[in-house]
Structure 1
Amino acid sequence: MTNRNLPNQDQLRYTRLPLTHGSGSMPAAGFGTLIPDPIATRQATRTALEVGFRHLDSAERYGNEEAVGAAMGEVFDQGRIKREDVFVTAKLWNTNHRPERVRPAYEASLRRLQLDHADCYVIHTPFAFRPGDDFHPTDGQGRVAYDTGVTLIETWGALEQLVDAGKCKAIGLSDIGLGKLQEIVAAARIKPSVVQVESHPYLPEWELLDFCRSQGIVVQAFAPLGHAMEPNLLSDPVITAIASRLRKTPAQVALAWAVQRGTGFLTTSVKPQRIQENFEISALPDEALQEIRENIQTRIRFNAVVETGVPGFIPRAQQ
């Protein structure tokens, strides 16, 4: 376990973000469990908890909720970390957007995770796919088969009912653009607690972040390190110069930037050393934050899911 008797700047890794529209607060540093192999998932999830992560992000679509649940169970059984110490996010997949499918999907995730509740339940994307057991249904020509019989607002209403019934503490959205988010906020009886979007110094999403701040919504960045794609964020000269000057890794610089501007982040790795590195962040000086904001001009989105509902990191032209 990481020692909490640290200099003030090293407390950044323990930052918690209050949930205005939910219960309690969410650890800013989150560990994502999008790992294809179940054995690797179990080992990496255990490592993440042991080095200090207290937020686990899971999803039905990842196909490994059982492994995440087994890892949590092993750690909780040891007694050093309690269930109430860990913030767990689960996600509703696109094929379950119809209101009558929401609660069964949620309860199925809980069974696989071996939990009696999730701290936050998130709509994985704003796109509804044809209901059924196929995660990626297609029409006869290989195109995504969308479900036109349900609206996102109707799906959101079903999540609100989970909160009403005491089944879930907070609800949120993922892979959503500002316009669609504004529609949900305007119509919602219970506002989103959390919004997950791709965000990093090459895609800072300042406008969306400003809107979320005005509404008391926590922004959580996925792919905060740029997903190791070209152009490579961690090789950016602004990031590497700051890292060299402060004796940090480029990843630690990018993740500290995320927390210091008021967002959470999700990182994923199966390498114990990398998992520990990603947790052991510390505060950057103000001039470093200013350099990142003013001197990085590259703007690129690596994941096209906001356009299609189909997750996947695709090389794209610079914008």
Structure 2
Amino acid sequence: MSYEAFHDGLRDTRFPLNHGSVEMPAVGFGTLFRDLGVTTQAVKHALDAGFRHFDCAERYRNEDLVGVALKEVLEAGTIRREELFITTKLWNTNHRPERVEPAFEASCRRLQVDYIDCYLIHTPFAFQPGDNQDPRDAFGHVIYDSGVTLIETWRALERLVDEGRCRSIGLSDITLDALKEIVAVARIKPAVVQVESHPYLPEWELLEFCQQHGIILLAFAPLGHGMEPNVLEDTVITGIAKRLQKTPAQVALAWAVQRGVAFLTTSATPSHIQENINIETLPQRAMREIKEDITTRVRFNSVVETGVPGFIPRKKAE
């Protein structure tokens, strides 16, 4: 029996944004690769598999390689620009308001697109402005920029929306408290909040706040980034997968969409790319088990504390 014969539409879920008439495909493809050389081919594989939501960033240093793949499919006419949802991010060294528009324009140029569907502040931490993306002092400590506040940067993003080349704006790697501060004073509310989230870090409180304000919660590392303790080896997840004849990854990703969360997965392997999009609705019993029976709580990426992205290696839980 072919997969398509029983495909139930969960993978086609789209969440409406609170600004404008744009919808974000819940199933997204991240473009952060250790080996930048795989970027163009991986994006092409993802497009072939059916991904239409792509998450990029100035900091990933491969927007131009993503742009090559996008340009190819758009010029071939097989996919229209309106079908794609493209996100990119403002890096920490460009938080000063006068640096925001040039950074945005540079991302558009590299991606070879006329507009961006969603522009995110990569982290709420401003770094020393300049060309060095990772400014450090003589002791190796990050040099932060105390000369700009997050709301000043946000106001510059609001102006991008006013100008029409940026469909929506949001925040990444932000805590609930910091998000509340922005929502309270923003003229244009955040449309998207991107944070680490998976069955070991469900972020229920943040999700509830986002849903109250019409903000889409977008999960990165929805499979736990292969770190220990391994989400995909959790007995609750593997038990459900066995029962439903799905992979543990498909169970964790379906859980995300069904609870109202969009997700990003990244792979350069065509079989994994296909597996990650072939999700189906889980029975309510499975949703309940994941919520109630998984008690492990782990944050794998400390970026919310420092603004420096990076997954922390952990020893296997005893």
Shorter-chain TM-score range: over 0.9
Contact 1:4–1:11 at 8 Å: present in 2 too?
A: no
User: Partner amino acid for 1:84?
Assistant: E
**Aligned partners of 2:21 and 2:8: how far apart in 1?**
26
1:205 to 192, 203, 206: 203
Instruction: Identify the residue that residue 166 of structure 2 maps to in structure 1.
Output: 168
Q: String of CA shifts for 1:223-254, please: whole Å, max 9, x gaps.
A: 00000000000000000000000000000000
Give yes or no for contact 1:27–1:54 (8 Å, CA) kept in 2: yes
What letter is aligned with 1:277? E
Change (3 A) 1:246 1:188: same
**Partner of 2:240: helix, strand, or coil?**
helix
Q: Secondary structure at the match of 2:9?
A: helix
2:207–2:217 Cα contact (<8 Å) kept:
yes
Alignment CA distance shift 1:80-1:297 (3 Å): same
The equivalent of 1:61 in structure 2 is 59
- Between the two proteins, what is the percent identity of the paired residues? 67
Normalization by structure 2: what TM-score? 0.97
Q: Which residue of 1 is the match for residue 283 of structure 2?
A: 285
Partner residue of 2:23?
25
Aligned residue runs from structure 1 range 140-179, under 5 A: 140-179=138-177
Root-mean-square deviation (Å): 1.4
Mark the runs of 5 or more structure 1 residues left unpaired by the alignment: none
1:268-283 alignment runs, 5 A limit: 268-283=266-281
Contact 1:225–1:233 (Cα < 8 Å) also in 2? yes
1:38, distance to aligned residue in structure 2 (A): 3.4
1:125 aligns with 2:86: no
Deviates more, 1:18-27 or 1:283-292: 18-27
Stretches of 4+ aligned residues off by more than 6 angstroms: none
From 89, 92, 102, the counterpart of 1:91: 89
Equivalenced residue count is 315
- Say whether residues 1:111 and 2:109 are aligned partners: yes
Secondary structure at 2:87 match in 1:
strand
- Mapped partners of 1:242, 1:38: distance in 2: 35
Amino acid at match of 2:56: S
Q: Which amino acid aligns with 2:284?
A: D
Partner of 1:193: 191
Structure 1 position 4, deviation (Å):
11
In structure 1, give the amino acid aligned to 2:146: T
Once the two structures are overlaid, the 10-residue window that deviates more, 241-250 or 134-143, is 134-143
Shift of 1:77: 2.0
In the alignment, the residues of structure 1 paired with residue 276 and residue 3 of structure 2 have an alpha-carbon distance, to the nearest angstrom, of 16
Seen in structure 2, the aligned counterparts of structure 1 residues 4 and 27 have a Cα distance that, compared at 3 Å, is farther
CA contact (8 A) 2:227 2:314 kept: no
Counterparts of 1:238-253 in structure 2, within 5 Å, are 238-253=236-251
Cα offset, 1:61, TM superposition: 0.2
The TM-score with structure 1 as length reference comes to 0.96
Task: Decide whether aligned partners of structure 1 residues 314 and 22 sit closer, same or farther in structure 2, where only a CA change above 3 A counts.
Answer: farther
Q: Secondary structure at the match of 1:257?
A: helix
Mapped to 2, the partners of 1:36 and 1:83 lie a distance apart of: 27
Query: Structure 2: 5+ residue runs without aligned partners?
Result: none
Structure 1 residue 91: deviation in Å? Answer: 0.3
Query: Deviation digits for residues 59-87 of structure 1, max 9, x if unmatched?
Result: 00000001000011111222211111110
> What SS is found at the alignment partner of 1:17?
strand
